Amino acid sequence: MISGLTGSRLVPAKSILASDISRERLAYIKKKYRVAPATDNAAAVQKSDIIFLAIKPQQMESVLTGLAGAVKPEQLYISIAAGITTTFIEKYLPSGTAVVRAMPNTPALVGAGAIGLCGGKWARKNDIKTALALFSSVGMALELPEKLLNAVTAVSGSGPAYVFYLAEAMAQAGEELGLPKEVAEKLARQTVFGAGTMLAKLPETAAELRRRVTSPNGTTEAALKYLEKKNFLPVVGQAIKQAHKRADELTR
């Protein structure tokens, strides 16, 4: 987020305060992004208008408890903790405090993230607009009902790992077919990048793009027929549903 906000010039580095439990990590962030370090979470909150809760879900309760007395009702709190609802966060903040819950994914590190977000009970239209603008600096951001955030987690939050797994399989198969390891890796990486770019830039659906590159009785069709025989689509669908099930289990 810091990289996207400063890189897009949406927020100057001097306007960002960072707080982290690890002093080493905080020193690294300060050096890399030229942002100001805070002595602790409460000190950062007292000086801020917008607060990102970029913490692990199991840490949320203790972090919010530690902010007691530092929270101001006019602030906007944005959480990227998986499974933590806006209602849960609001319990620890003064009544009327705006909360936005978001689910980004790791491609946000390179400005290509897919982010779903929703507003809590007291989030106003302007709060949502602000959150969308901030997350748009690191990718594509969409407002959705909170009941769909776990589905976002399953599809795009965990999604990069599915794509990496496919690239891993492609590179491994290429190596088994005689390609040097580094060549197979480069071909897999570039193929995933190119296909992803087509999906992002062309209006056709994924299904239509797949049909366009599948010549009758060709090599691509041979591979796809094997994937269909092995129930590729249902297997991937069930895997994503397992991620969704786990997201539901973690929700509080």
Q: What is the CATH number of the domain that holds 210?
A: 1.10.3730.10
Give Cβ neighbours of residue 130 (< 8 Å, ≥ 6 apart). 50, 76
In a domain, 32, yes or no: yes
Distance CA 12, CA 205 (A): 38
Closest CA to 1 of 20, 23, 18, 14: 18
The predicted-structure confidence for 44-97, as pLDDT tens digits, reads as follows 999 999 999 999 889 999 999 999 889 998 999 999 998 899 999 999 999 999
Q: How many domains does the chain have?
A: 2
Does 188 have pLDDT greater than 90? yes
Residues 96 and 212 in one domain: no
Residues 57 and 175 in one domain: no
In three-state secondary structure terms, 215 is: coil
Distance CA 137, CA 19 (A): 21
Residues 17 and 124 in one domain: yes
Q: Give the domain extent around 22.
A: 2-147
* pLDDT at res. 7: 82
The rounded percent of the chain whose pLDDT value lies above 70 is 100
* pLDDT at res. 32: 92
pLDDT band at 136 (very low <50, low <70, confident <90, very high): very high
CB 131 within 8 A of CB 78: yes
Segment among 15-29, 149-163, 170-184, 229-243 with least mean pLDDT: 15-29
Residues 22 and 128 in one domain: yes
- Mean pLDDT estimate for the chain: 95
Closest CA to 107 of 199, 174, 181: 199
In three-state secondary structure terms, 27 is: helix
Residues 43 and 141 in one domain: yes
Residue at which a domain ends, from 122, 147, 172: 147
In a domain, 153, yes or no: no
